[in-house]
Structure 1
Amino acid sequence: MDCHLVALLGSPRREGNTAILLQEAIRGSEDAGCNVELIWVPGLQIKPCMEIFVCKQKPVCAIKDEMQVYYDMIRDADGLIVATPVMTMGVPGALKSFIDRFQVFYMAKYERRDPLVTPDQRKVRKMLLLSIAGMNIKNLFAGLLQTMHAFSEIIDCPLWDKLLRDDMDTIKDITTRPELLKEAYAKGYALGEAIKRAKSEVALAVE
């Protein structure tokens, strides 16, 4: 059973600790039989949402940039892996702007009651969240998790599992923590297996 995932890298550092963690999760998913398309979000030529609200009437955005490609990609994916650092107690700017542009999905689902993701897709789709943060304080991931829960519901790709690691200001180099890399791989592999299993169940129900 084919499995196609999209991986979003929200870090401005293409080869930093977040990217290393993501590559392990991708490797796990690929070993589970999925193909994974990686998007480095800070490198995209997109604008933030301007609240023009054309998307209230139809599933398009008034801003003409690269986003339509990513709307299609996210809509058609079997699942997502999102990897991001915490910045200012929340989601980094480029990734937040990307997420905010999914008002197109929000309006379709909640305003017009005509979701862009089908019920059968919803049964399959799952999101894995990987995140690191520099400090070691209470509720460090709270803002990020609220945003990602909202995003996952808007695009009908429920937050299925997560790997969160704080205190990176002390750790500095994530490769010195092989247990974290092993966990990222395992979660990526499990995501691929879970999605393939769900796709098989949906296919059997249709027959």
Structure 2
Amino acid sequence: MSAPRPPARSGPVRVGVLGTASIARRRLLPALAACPDTRLVAVASRAPATAEEAAAPYGCEAVEGYGALLARDDVDAVYVPLPAALHAPWVRAALTAGKHVLAEKPLSTDAATTGGLLALARDKGLVLSENVMFVHHARHAEVRRLIEDGAIGDVRAFHAAFTVPRPPDGDIRHSAGLGGGALGDMGVYPVRAALHLLGDGL
């Protein structure tokens, strides 16, 4: 989402994870640990035992508190899988601490805040990216090329749906105070697909 600065050091990107959400445990922690271009340095949680449990399978450090992880000088970038309402404050804190950021979607809960985060990343020469994976898939690049080249004619309408099983009662995605709700959680995918394929002028 923002232009990267040239790498300040060689070797794998040293990554810290702010939180132990299911998506982090199931997908990102294993991927970061397996990738030769990243080194998983630490996992932070408000609860020390939770941080230990998430970090142990990967041999990385468990850190109590997100701020403590951001204060480390052996972390180049952070991944933020916290509830949506907490993305903006912790993304801002990470950028202020000089860390590149990969944050779960949505980047924030309103456009003005998102714009401010992008401006902060740009001013600091840091990478800020929202974790929307499909925009990097080859099939989506090909569909975008076909549309841009006019190979399928003029696109006059776009219909999309994205569904998942209903989260159980008590899940944070049901909590408006944590940025929950269908539009922010699942609606991001069809809206982002429309923007990716048809352009920002929608």
Which bracket does the TM-score occupy, shorter chain normalised? 0.3 to 0.5
Larger RCO (CA within 8 A; separation ≥ 6)? 1
Larger radius of gyration: 2
What is the TM-score of this pair, normalised by structure 2?
0.38
